[in-house]
Amino acid sequence: MQKRRIGSSTLEVSVVGLGANNFGGRINFAASRRVVDAAIAHGINFIDTADSYGNRGGSEEYLGEILGAARKSIVLATKFGLPMDDAGTKRGASRRYIMEAVEASLKRLRTDWIDLYQQHRPDPQTPIEETLRALDELVRAGKVRFAGCSNLSAAQVTEARETAARLGLAGFICCQDEYSLLKRGVERELLPVIKARGMGLLPYFPLASGLLTGKYQKGVPLPEGSRMAKNRRHADDFLTERNWRIVAQLRAFAERRGRTVLELAFSWLLRDPVVPSVIAGATTPEQIAQNIAAAGWTLAPDELAEIDRITQ
């Protein structure tokens, strides 16, 4: 399994990562264990979760129990910031809440440290300096190795990096944002900032919630138990006429080369070294094997140009 560093950090991660958002929600503990075991057996060393995944804590709890001694060889990433209670008091990026959230995550994950601790979304109520000072304190204490962010705008990332540099704090090393063949908005403003600052980009929804796997067909009922079938919001967001048209063209592009649209989705994201790993969720060991096999296609310049014509 090829590995890349996340930005300018020392974290080396497999180019295919495992997203743990299904654990404790779409799949139970036994199924989650099979997925994690398969990922480790295939050489995946990067697992990404969040405190909110799995009905607020379930994903972290599963990982804490499953990993055991394997924890030492895993680059483990989690996030804070989304609501963890109905009252709305356990959320955000204040120092008070970060200190509470990290201890809860460490306990659920059964570990002494988090390799990558990410702010899940912006907190307009908290100055970025306060957030960064809290994260820096955790880095100095050895509870967090590196900090990252997710869903921040280009301007917010720039402010965070400049604030950290000015104050001598541990800054964000990466951004986790939606990026796929069907969602390329980050290329306009955010991606240039990430590259200029020596950061990494971790795409989420790299397979457009499954639309780029080939398992969904226009005019055919959604597969029972699939993400689209269970989440109407995802279906409304991704199952558009524009996306069906693009996917049909991408499928034809891949098939002409004896490939699949799944292979195209992974390999296209990995064309750029700013992407250290493509984090994809899985509900079965078979999906793990498919994801890993999909990452080995090196696209030629003329192929990339044709993809641009199709997707932009």
**Tens of pLDDT, residues 128-180:** 999 999 999 999 999 999 999 999 999 999 999 999 999 999 999 999 999 99
Structural domain boundaries, residue 305: 3-311
DSSP assignments along 251-305, one per residue: HHHHHTTT--HHHHHHHHHTTSTT---EEEE-SSHHHHHHHHHGGG----HHHHH
253 backbone dihedrals φ, ψ, rounded to 5°: -60, -50
Mean pLDDT of 172-200: 98
- Cβ atoms within 10 A of the Cβ of 91, count? 20
pLDDT (0 to 100) of residue 225: 67
**Structural domains counted in the chain:** 1
- The CATH number linked to 250 is 3.20.20.100
Query: What sign has the CA pseudo-torsion 263, 265, 269, 271?
Result: positive
Out of 53, 97, 204, 216, pick the active-site residue. 53
Q: What is the mean pLDDT of the chain?
A: 95
Check if 97 is active-site.
no
Instruction: State the pLDDT confidence band at 229, using cuts at 50, 70 and 90.
Output: low
Mean pLDDT of 87-113: 97
Instruction: State the pLDDT confidence band at 80, using cuts at 50, 70 and 90.
Output: very high
pLDDT at 228 over 70: no
pLDDT at 234 over 80: no
